[in-house]
Structure 1
Amino acid sequence: MLKNRYLHIIVALLLLVLAACGNSDETAGAKKEPEKKAEPQDLILATTTSTQDSGLLDELLPIFEKKYNAKIKTIAVGTGQALEMGKKGEADVLLTHAPASEQELVDAGDVTNYKRVMYNDFIVVGPKSDPAGVKGLPTADAFKKLFESKAIFVSRGDDSGTHKKELGIWGSLGITPAGDNYVSTGQGMGPTLQIASEKQGYTMTDRATFLAQEKNLKDVTIIVEGDKDLQNIYHVMQVNPEKNDKINSEGAKQFVEFMIADGTQNTIEEFGKEEYGQSLFFKYTE
């Protein structure tokens, strides 16, 4: 009888221990369960094709997305189109390279937090044989000779920053290019370079895109470079949140701050050095 009583006590104690272990395991399991990660914020970036064609965005955007738990939708178009998206409130943040046109948006209050980010330069490229004989000439002289010699000139024709720069040079010479030798592609820098290569023509490009695409081009080299007027400046800016109640103002602010931060600026300046032997973009310093 006494033996049975002790047996019942031992069984009860074992059941208590097992129950405690089970609860402990459940508690431990609950602690090990990872917390659900917050949904990433969506951010629409309207930018010029050169930042994408050069590969720079592929370098920078994953860093931003990880740091700020963001998912960026990049719309790479001509700068004119990107700025128009800003005017209409169809993007959260802009990264473009047409300072005069950008200033119009700043003055109109369409954008805020306008910051200079980086620069490189425009160049004129063309056939290595240089049939127009313009290699090494100052920019204005080269454009004038290209027009007079009726050399094939391939223009982006897309209201991009590069296109605006090209038109400004023609305009300063009092020239309105036209005719069969003036080809307007209405496309980005990459396709325009390809067409210029195929037609053995000349074109204006930003240096970064040319260096990134050079291996895909046949018999194309730099013809005109180095003029002070060919500097190519990029700015970042937030779209005014009053344009659209869906604008991610906080995310846009984070992106502007990210682009001008020291770490990002150093990454920008180092980008391309290993592959091309030179920086594709230079950081902005006060």
Structure 2
Amino acid sequence: MQKKKQMAEKACLIVALTLMMVFPVMAADKVLMMATTTSTDNTGLLDYLAPHFTQATGIELKWTSVGTGKALKMGENCDVDVLLVHAPAAEKAFVEKGFGVNRREIMYNDFVIIGPESDPAGITGNTVVDALGTIRAKGSVFVSRGDNSGTHKKELSLWSATGAAVPEKEFWYVQTGQGMLASINIAAERNGYTMTDRGTFIKYADTMSGNPPLKVLVEQDDILLNQYSVLAINPQRCTKAKFDLATSFAEWLAGAEAQGLIRDFKLLGKPLFVPNAK
């Protein structure tokens, strides 16, 4: 009897050890690693979407939020499985070089130029090109992320659209090398202007109980469209990339459930992103 009991205990121990070895592997196989822009993280969108994605697919989503340039670099280095970013020209080049596949547009918002309510440069209601030209002419403080993010790339293209060089060495042009919320706070401290995506501005306004020191002064210009897309890392370049999980994530983001969740995601009664998956 004692011998049978010992044999049973031994069998249970073997099963327990086997489960301990197997389940961590299974769990790791269902974890999707993503690099994404700071705006999808700072706004709270990913914290909102991730539990729904896991419930629908059984896949756990983990992410690192950096500027789009750094996110693309992480994809090149095979550090992640999927990207959610907002710099279309850089994304298309990334795909053309063979690093990414299956780029899909998921949602958009727009960029806005914000500044003090007193508007010392007098740019309220101007076009983007005119506003930036005025800021340059008057030497008003303009805060740039300066971090090769999607927002920074867009800002640089807008300065180029004015027909003059990017004012990188001008005394009034402040490059933070930081994320959007930090850059907004620096602009507020310097009584200056900056460019941000609207979603992050709404999040910023929410943290200020709806009365932020900086206000939207320039908006609704066609050139300010801010498109977000998802890209899977090419498994032929990165053999350990979880292409199947990345594909599941992309298909879920483009599906009715996620598109509805993105549409309904609001702060201060305002949508932060507009779904537009095809």
1-side partners of 2:268 and 2:199: how far apart?
10
1:211 aligned residue: 202
1:42 and 1:70 in contact (8 A); partners too: yes
Cα gap change, 1:210 to 1:117, in 2 (>3 Å): same
1:23 aligned residue: none
**Alignment partner for residue 108 of structure 1, among 97, 118, 123?**
97
Cα gap change, 1:59 to 1:215, in 2 (>3 Å): closer
Is 1:229 the equivalent of 2:229?
A: no
1-side partners of 2:259 and 2:61: how far apart?
19
Given the two structures, how large is their TM-score scaled by the length of structure 2? 0.86
2:112 aligned residue: 123
Displacement of 1:285 in angstroms is 5.1
1:58 aligned residue: 47
2-side partners of 1:226 and 1:220: how far apart?
17
2:72 and 2:83 in contact (8 A); partners too: yes
What value does the CA root-mean-square deviation take over the aligned residues?
1.5
1:47 and 1:82 in contact (8 A); partners too: yes
- Displacement over 3 Å in runs of 4+: 215-218
2-side partners of 1:183 and 1:145: how far apart?
16
Is 1:142 the equivalent of 2:146?
A: no
The secondary structure found in structure 1 opposite 2:151 is helix
2:14 aligned residue: none
Is 1:184 the equivalent of 2:175?
A: yes
2:36 and 2:67 in contact (8 A); partners too: yes
**Alignment partner for residue 58 of structure 2, among 56, 59, 69?**
69
2:185 aligned residue: 194
Give the letter aligned to residue 248 of structure 1: K
2:10 aligned residue: none
**Alignment partner for residue 276 of structure 1, among 263, 268, 276?**
268
1:189 and 1:209 in contact (8 A); partners too: yes
Give the letter aligned to residue 136 of structure 2: F
Cα gap change, 1:77 to 1:220, in 2 (>3 Å): same
**Alignment partner for residue 175 of structure 1, among 160, 165, 169?**
165
1:239 aligned residue: 233
The secondary structure found in structure 1 opposite 2:125 is coil
2-side partners of 1:67 and 1:262: how far apart?
12
> How many residues are paired up?
249
Larger radius of gyration: 1
- Tell me the alpha carbon deviations over residues 43-75 of structure 1, each in whole angstroms, 9 at most, x when there is no partner: 111000000111110110111122222222211
- Tell me the alpha carbon deviations over residues 141-166 of structure 1, each in whole angstroms, 9 at most, x when there is no partner: 00000011100000000101110010
Displacement of 1:263 in angstroms is 1.0
2:15 aligned residue: none
The secondary structure found in structure 2 opposite 1:154 is strand
2:33 aligned residue: 44
1:89 and 1:240 in contact (8 A); partners too: no
2-side partners of 1:143 and 1:249: how far apart?
42
1-side partners of 2:116 and 2:207: how far apart?
14
1:94 aligned residue: 83
- Tell me the alpha carbon deviations over residues 259-279 of structure 1, each in whole angstroms, 9 at most, x when there is no partner: 10111001101100xx32221
1:80 and 1:161 in contact (8 A); partners too: yes
Give the letter aligned to residue 88 of structure 2: P
Displacement of 1:107 in angstroms is 1.2
1:166 aligned residue: 155
**Alignment partner for residue 81 of structure 1, among 70, 83, 101?**
70
- Tell me the alpha carbon deviations over residues 214-238 of structure 1, each in whole angstroms, 9 at most, x when there is no partner: 1445421001000001000000010
1-side partners of 2:104 and 2:143: how far apart?
32
The secondary structure found in structure 2 opposite 1:114 is strand
Structure 2 unpaired stretches of 5+ = 1-21
2-side partners of 1:128 and 1:197: how far apart?
11
The secondary structure found in structure 2 opposite 1:151 is coil
2-side partners of 1:271 and 1:175: how far apart?
38
Given the two structures, how large is their TM-score scaled by the length of structure 1? 0.84
Displacement of 1:42 in angstroms is 1.7
